[in-house]
Amino acid sequence: MIALLKRDLTLAFRAGGGFGLGLAFFLIVTVLVPFSVGPQSSLLSTIAPGVLWLGALLACLLSLDRLLALDWEDGSLDLLATAPLPLESVVTIKALAHWITTGLPLVLAAPVLGVLLNLPVPGFFWLVVSLALGTPALSVIGTFGAALTVGLKRGGLLLSLLVLPLYVPTLIFGAEVARRGATGMETATPLLMLAGITAATIALLPFASAAVLRVNLR
Amino acid sequence: MSIASKANALWEYANPKKFLTTTERVLPFFWISSAVFIVVGLVWGFFFTPDDYKQGSTVKIIYLHVPSALMAINCWIMMLATSLVWLVRRHHVSALAARAAAPVGIVMTLIALATGAIWGQPMWGTWWAWDPRLTSFLILFLFYLGYVALWEAIEDPDTAADLTSVLCLVGSVFAFLSRYAVNFWNQGLHQGASVMRVGAVTGTDTEEKVSNIFFFPLLVCIIGFVLLFIALVFYRTGTEIRARRIKALIARERVNG
Q: What is the pLDDT of residues A140-154, one digit of tens each?
A: 999 999 999 887 877
Q: Rounded to whole angstroms, what are the CA distances from B59 to A69, B47, B215?
A: 52, 12, 12
Give pLDDT, residue B2: 57
Give pLDDT, residue B80: 94
**In the A/B pair of chains, how many CB contacts fall below 8 A?**
78
Percent above pLDDT 70 for chain A: 98
Give pLDDT, residue B202: 47
Give pLDDT, residue B6: 59
Give pLDDT, residue A22: 84
Cα gap B38→B57, rounded to integer Å: 19
Backbone angles phi, psi at B158, to 5 degrees: -70, -40
Residue A67 has pLDDT above 60, yes or no: yes
Cα gap A119→A130, rounded to integer Å: 15
Q: Is the ipTM of this complex over 0.90?
A: no
Cα gap A156→B49, rounded to integer Å: 52
**Residue range of the domain that includes A91:** 2-217
Backbone angles phi, psi at A11, to 5 degrees: -60, -40
Q: In order along chain B (257 residues), what is the average pLDDT of each group of 10 residues?
A: 61 83 90 94 84 70 87 93 91 90 94 88 78 85 93 88 92 88 64 35 46 77 93 93 91 87
Pick from A184, A186, A185, A204: which is nearest to A196 by CA? A204
Cα gap A134→B177, rounded to integer Å: 15
What's the pTM?
0.86
Residues 6+ apart with CB under 8 A from B181: A168, A169, A172, A173, A193
- A205 part of contact set with chain B, CB < 8 Å: yes
Q: What is the DSSP letter of B204?
A: T
Give pLDDT, residue B199: 41
A209 vs B contacts (CB less than 8 Å): none
Q: Do A88 and A206 meet the contact criterion of CB atoms below 8 Å apart?
A: yes
Q: Which of residues 153-192 of A touch B (CB under 8 A)?
A: 155, 158, 161-162, 164-166, 168-169, 172-173, 176, 179-180, 189-190
Q: Do A144 and A166 meet the contact criterion of CB atoms below 8 Å apart?
A: yes
Cα gap A173→B181, rounded to integer Å: 7
Residues 6+ apart with CB under 8 A from A58: A25, A26, A29
Q: Do B219 and B66 meet the contact criterion of CB atoms below 8 Å apart?
A: no
Number of structural domains chain A divides into? 1
Give pLDDT, residue B178: 86
Give pLDDT, residue B130: 80
Q: Do A178 and A52 meet the contact criterion of CB atoms below 8 Å apart?
A: yes
Of B150, B178, B181, the CB nearest to A162: B150
Residue A165 has pLDDT above 80, yes or no: yes
Give pLDDT, residue A17: 57
Long-range Cβ contact pairs of A89-92 (< 8 A, separation 24 or more): A89/A1, A89/A206, A90/A4, A90/A210, A91/A143, A91/A147, A91/A206, A91/A209, A91/A210, A91/A213, A92/A140, A92/A202, A92/A206
